[in-house]
Structure 1
Amino acid sequence: MSVVAMVQANSVTKEVNTQEGSLKILHPISITVNAGESLAITGASGSGKSTLLGILAGLDVPSSGEVILNGHNLSLLDEEGRAKVRAGNVGFIFQSFQLLPGLSAHENVMLPLELRGDKAADSKAREFLQRVGLEQRLHHYPQQLSGGEQQRVAIARAFASEPKVLFADEPTGNLDSATGARIIDLLFELNRAQGTTLVFITHEERLAQLCQRRIELAAGALVSGRE
């Protein structure tokens, strides 16, 4: 069976203009993540991890280089085109949860499913909230949930969309150790059961060790895990 690249970055850089002049956030980075693979992106705060993740996911654009996501060259698309690619291929788990405060946990998980016309949105939302241990909190609003519970809602939302690739920025960062361990197990269950490609930013050694590969960034450059 041939290996299929799910995410490919070719000489990606990121540069921004500041009052002091041009600031290089990412130096040329080239990596490939194959379908079904799990990759941990590690490094100290400020090393460029979140910037790289955003570019790989099509949430941001590089200053130079290109990103190909499941065969789509994001560098050739405008924001609307990148959004369509994300909608059909990508799930996200952010540190900030990004839940809608006016919707219940159940409604937050259902919403992206309904937007894409999934007729099983209700049952899928219930199933994945149960899998993250929130079956008793379906009708609670974000402000009624702890930080860890909000993160689990965000994880259920990402799982329910059955993405081809799941990008996560510190997915266990706001969870206690027991809940974090459960979520890690769920992430890799998804990886095995659905062949989902996993790309994590993490400081958690257990999560990094469970990934098939690890790359480390320092000052915007790859210092280990080079292609």
Structure 2
Amino acid sequence: MQAVIDSLFTPIGNDGLIGGLLILNGLKVTLMVTFFAIILGAILGVGTTLMKMSGKWYLTWPANLYVGIIRGTPVVIQLVILYFIVLSSLDVDKISAAIIAFGLNSGAYISEIIRAGIQAVDKGQMEAARSLGLSHGQTMKAVILPQALKNILPALGNEFIVLLKETAVIGFIGGVDLMRAGEIIRSRTFEDVVPLFTCALIYLILTYTFTFMLSRFEKRLKQSD
């Protein structure tokens, strides 16, 4: 018990910030990066899906290249390259760089999720709607996308949870997220168990909370059917 108190209430660094507050600040960074990155990823995912399904090579080719590069390289390498090389000449802070990097990464996966959800809808739905006089855009908006959303919702929820955990590598560019805060406390107090298990417990609580909220939302969608 004394080790827990010492780890969470010992001043860390020259500013006198105690370990517990450092973890809270790290948690705030983790949630902030995850929230804005998933929004950016959703926008990029929708745009990339539309490009891939446009049937025009000059749109399909760059979309496939983007998805292939992102899915074929580790997110930590993408983060480091973006911050230290691509954005090195710009005055971009670490949190913004992390949001961009994780947003780009998430966008590629969300694109594939959306594409798979749309293709899972029976083609007869499109043909029937078009035969009733609806345009392609009207059919996608009123018929295909609502059905695809229910198909892809679990996968989108999983992507959000995966993204939340992937943000633990922000420390590679010097950002102080939840995981990095635990590492700082561990290095300053020489106490390994409490800081690391505290971070693990917080991640566990967050993932279970979001999973529960997602399951409740899915049940409401099923009831609406």
Q: Quick check: which one's helix share is greater?
A: 2
TM-score for both structures, normalised by structure 1:
0.25
Q: Quick check: which one's strand share is greater?
A: 1
